[in-house]
Amino acid sequence: MNRNPREIVSDAVARFGSGREAVIQILTEINRELSYIPEEAIVAVAGAIGVSNAEIYSVISFYSFFSTEPRGRNIIRLCTTISCQMNGSGEILKTIEAELGIKAGDTTPDGRITLETTSCIGLCDQAPAMMVNDTPHTRLTPDETRRIIAGLE
């Protein structure tokens, strides 16, 4: 059972404070616990920090790992920044989309997997790369990618 978003925010504020510098840590807590940041949580964070809702929304929108939409049990984050792109992330994206029957940004109807693209995840030397939940996967090929997807609960 997930905790109420407001409860997560007040716990996070107690831990990290209510200064502007605490915003990222608070948002990370919510995003980790709920897999996304619901509207109610944004309003609570804005109230606690003393800034507008739009400002918190703006911060969330900047970071690929934050989402304002509910996501599946597993999150695939495929890097599409330049090094990965030059090493074939486009083909990997097509593979995953075909395999799951969804587009980047969507979740499978059974709620099993959300597919997202992300900015650089620091694995340029092993491109193309993706994160599946908290695990990095590197030097991806279409076959390897299909194998990884098949193994997800």
Q: In terms of CB distance, is 46 or 131 closer to other proteins?
A: 46
Phi, psi angle pair for 6, to nearest 5°: -65, -35
Smallest gap, in angstroms, from Cβ of residue 22 to other proteins?
18
Cα(78)–Cα(86) distance, rounded to whole angstroms? 14
Smallest gap, in angstroms, from Cβ of residue 45 to other proteins?
12
Smallest gap, in angstroms, from Cβ of residue 65 to other proteins?
12
**Which parts of this chain interact with other proteins (CB under 8 A)?**
39, 42, 51-55, 57-58, 61-62, 68, 119
Q: In terms of CB distance, is 77 or 137 closer to other proteins?
A: 77
Smallest gap, in angstroms, from Cβ of residue 57 to other proteins?
5
Q: In terms of CB distance, is 30 or 113 closer to other proteins?
A: 30
Cα(130)–Cα(31) distance, rounded to whole angstroms? 19
| Number of CB atoms found within 10 A of residue 31's CB | 20
145 contacts: CB under 8 Å, gap ≥ 6: 92, 95, 96, 99, 130, 137
Q: In terms of CB distance, is 51 or 148 closer to other proteins?
A: 51
Distances, alpha carbon 112 to alpha carbons 38, 40, 109, in Å: 19, 24, 8
